[in-house]
Structure 1
Amino acid sequence: MSALLAAIVPALHALQTELPAQAPQGGNIVGAQIAIGSLFSLHILIAGLVSGAAELGPAIEFLGYVRQRRNYDRLAHGLGRFITYYFSVSSTIAILLITVLLVGFWGRFWTTIVTIGWWPLFIEAWTFVLQVSLAYLWYYTWEPMRAFKGVHMAIGGLLAVASFLQVYMIDVIASYMLTPTNPQNPVRLALNPTSYPLTVHRTVGNLAY
């Protein structure tokens, strides 16, 4: 054990001295723009489809239940299948962007944005977890909860709400970047004037997809 510690401790000290004291700042601006711009565009395309399906699917299921239309139910079930298939792709791209590319290329910028928008990003992270959990629960309990349709539709309703809140929290950060307000006022940060048209645009666009 002592021999193992003797080998590990010097390596840890060497690693500590080599770690940067500040957030990284990439020098290849063109490469960063191409990489981040391309992946963000791909992520937005897929995430928009997923968010729209997560809001539209439960509504279609409810309409099918009210009108007793089996084809509505099949359509909603198909949207649920689509969500489960494409959620992993969109999430992988988003995590790669946040944890690797943004930190590596524009670490100072990303650190500043996270500091300013801590609460919106914190809420967004948990609504994302809730959205993923509810999406898989909504889809995979479709047949087992056929006799409890009201409960199943309630799960779908929560999924739609979580999906909307997750998008809105991202819009709060995006609207701050468009029209900065006092970063020390979380209310002004959340109620940024450009967040409303941005949220309406993204919600309608996701549903129209």
Structure 2
Amino acid sequence: MQLTQVGGNLLTNGLLVAVVVLAHIQIAAYLIGSSTLMIVSESISIARHGDERHDRLAHGLMKSSNYVFSFGSALAIFFVVFVLTGVWGRFFAPLQQITFWMFFVEAIAFVGEIALIYTLYANWDRLAKHRRARLGMLLILNIDQFWQMFFIDVVASFMLTPNGGDVNILSQILNPTSIPLDVHRVVGNIAWAGAVVAFAGGFRYLLATRRLERTSRAAVQAQPALSVGAMSVGASPSEPPEAAEARHWDWVGQWGAMWAVGLTLLQPWIGYSYAKEIQLHAYPSWYSMMFGDLSNVFLIQITLLGSIFTLGSLYFWRRMKASGARRHRRQGLLALGLLLVTMFAAIPAWIAPTYADTFTSGGAKPFWDGGQLVPFATFIPYKVGALFMMVTLGLWSVSSYLRSYSRNELGAGFIGRRAAWTLVALGVVTSVMMMVMGVIREHARQPYLINGELTIQNQQILNGQPSTYGGTSP
């Protein structure tokens, strides 16, 4: 099926879609992930008969979700009305006809999300006397958000692996990449929410400690000179509120980091099953990611994944060291090991834009023979081995930290500003990785809008596969 050329330019047809969609994905992922973390904190607070830290965290997540949802929903409406209908109307009209029921059910779930999230936000304090009812509403919100995500994922996965979904609605819903994409996003949403919580905790800790330093300096300057051993009449042994704030945000950052790193450990295994379905049912897209013009972008993705594990382990090490916890040296070695493995995984398998370019330039031989290939950096077995080591070391790092946490070896409130900056970096790297993954998945369909079925007339095919005799074949 061919479409006439869509008018516009790089700004309106390319960058506009990229900016709006990547922002919307991060907002939507945070909303779903944060509702899951709210359920966890609310459940812990009920089980402990009122845990002040988790009460405050759950309420803070609800307030942030409300603010983010207001902007995110406006952005989504702008995307559908202006970008899809206005700029990409010739594509969106047939897509909406094919996937009408998916959009219809998703819209119903969206209305349900509006009702639930604003009701919970407006009545949070009133529902404090009915904690189980509030928890039940959070569960309903989370389920509603899951189905909203599920039906949008059907549309997104259908565009990559149609599987005859344009004539059979069941084949559309159960297309080969639908379930792997759902599992990938469910886990990723929670990890992303954890990274945002870690970012917020680290940033607020920096602010709290800065205020604490100012308060301490002001108190010293205001204290009158007294004889040795005397005490100012106005002096108070009570802890300044800034210290309590620093301790709280230290705990928040730690809580978010454990979710961010712990859940991300599952993504290589989930991602493998997702990539395998793409290989089996959309081979040109898989080839583009592994050997084509996206191969080096995919290399960036692996590097960012390793950076998340490294930053998480580095934060755990700094916190354990500041608390004088046992085995903090082992945690430092794990962070160093993760850094080295990440650097090894970042080595490109060929010194060229694509694998096909090594054939056309005559460089299909090892670099020590004057070629462009790096034999010890191929995906199998070296990149796979590096991913396995990342997961193994990352799991060891998280479990070691949790062991120290369960033994009450970790102090709170005095971890140092470098550890807080590590949390900020963890949030930023996770955000960038989400954007890179979105670019890879969407660009892999090129030149198709719906893979193998719908394209723009005269669009150039960039992802040629190497032919038997070298060069490329479309």
One fold, TM greater than 0.5?
yes
- Kindly report which structure 2 residues correspond to 1:35-184, keeping only aligned pairs within 5 A, or say none: 35-68=16-49, 69-182=51-164, 183-184=166-167
Instruction: Tell me if structure 1 keeps the 8 A contact 2:163–2:176.
Output: no
- Which residue identity lines up with residue 35 of structure 2 in the other structure? A
- Offset of 1:26 from its aligned partner? 4.0
Q: SS state of the match for residue 47, structure 1?
A: helix
Is 1:189 matched up with 2:172?
Answer: yes
Q: SS state of the match for residue 192, structure 1?
A: coil
Instruction: Tell me if structure 2 keeps the 8 A contact 1:26–1:104.
Output: no
Q: SS state of the match for residue 104, structure 2?
A: helix
Q: Runs ≥4 in structure 1, deviation > 3 angstroms?
A: none
- Offset of 1:199 from its aligned partner? 1.0
Instruction: Tell me if structure 2 keeps the 8 A contact 1:120–1:169.
Output: yes
Task: Give the total of aligned pairs.
Answer: 186
Q: SS state of the match for residue 145, structure 1?
A: helix
Instruction: Tell me if structure 2 keeps the 8 A contact 1:25–1:107.
Output: no
Is 1:28 matched up with 2:8?
Answer: yes
- Which residue identity lines up with residue 208 of structure 1 in the other structure? A
Q: Which runs of 5+ in 2 are unaligned?
A: 193-474
Instruction: Tell me if structure 2 keeps the 8 A contact 1:77–1:142.
Output: yes
Structure whose CA Rg is larger: 2
Instruction: Tell me if structure 2 keeps the 8 A contact 1:175–1:192.
Output: yes
Q: SS state of the match for residue 169, structure 1?
A: helix
- Offset of 1:61 from its aligned partner? 0.9
- Offset of 1:140 from its aligned partner? 2.0
Q: Which runs of 5+ in 1 are unaligned?
A: 1-23
1:8 matched residue in structure 2: none
TM-score, structure 2 as length reference: 0.38
Q: SS state of the match for residue 41, structure 1?
A: helix
Instruction: Tell me if structure 2 keeps the 8 A contact 1:65–1:73.
Output: no
TM-score, structure 1 as length reference: 0.84
Aligned in 2, Cα 1:99/1:194: closer, same or farther, shift over 3 Å?
A: same
Instruction: Tell me if structure 2 keeps the 8 A contact 1:55–1:161.
Output: no
- Which residue identity lines up with residue 201 of structure 1 in the other structure? H
Measure the CA separation in 2 of the matches of 1:63 and 1:112.
47
Q: SS state of the match for residue 126, structure 2?
A: coil
- Which residue identity lines up with residue 27 of structure 1 in the other structure? G
> CA offsets per residue over residues 120-158 of structure 1, 9 Å max, x none?
111111111111211111222221122222211111110
- Which residue identity lines up with residue 33 of structure 1 in the other structure? G
- Which residue identity lines up with residue 135 of structure 1 in the other structure? I
- Which residue identity lines up with residue 203 of structure 1 in the other structure? V
- Offset of 1:99 from its aligned partner? 0.5
Higher RCO by CA contacts (8 Å cutoff, separation 6 or greater): 1
Instruction: Tell me if structure 2 keeps the 8 A contact 1:25–1:108.
Output: no
- Offset of 1:25 from its aligned partner? 7.0
Measure the CA separation in 1 of the matches of 2:168 and 2:54.
45
Aligned in 2, Cα 1:81/1:106: closer, same or farther, shift over 3 Å?
A: same
Identity of matched residues, %? 36
The structure with the greater share of residues assigned to helix is: 1
> CA offsets per residue over residues 166-204 of structure 1, 9 Å max, x none?
111110000100100222221111112201111111111
Instruction: Tell me if structure 1 keeps the 8 A contact 2:6–2:90.
Output: no
Instruction: Tell me if structure 1 keeps the 8 A contact 2:42–2:135.
Output: yes
- Which residue identity lines up with residue 76 of structure 1 in the other structure? A
- Which residue identity lines up with residue 189 of structure 1 in the other structure? Q
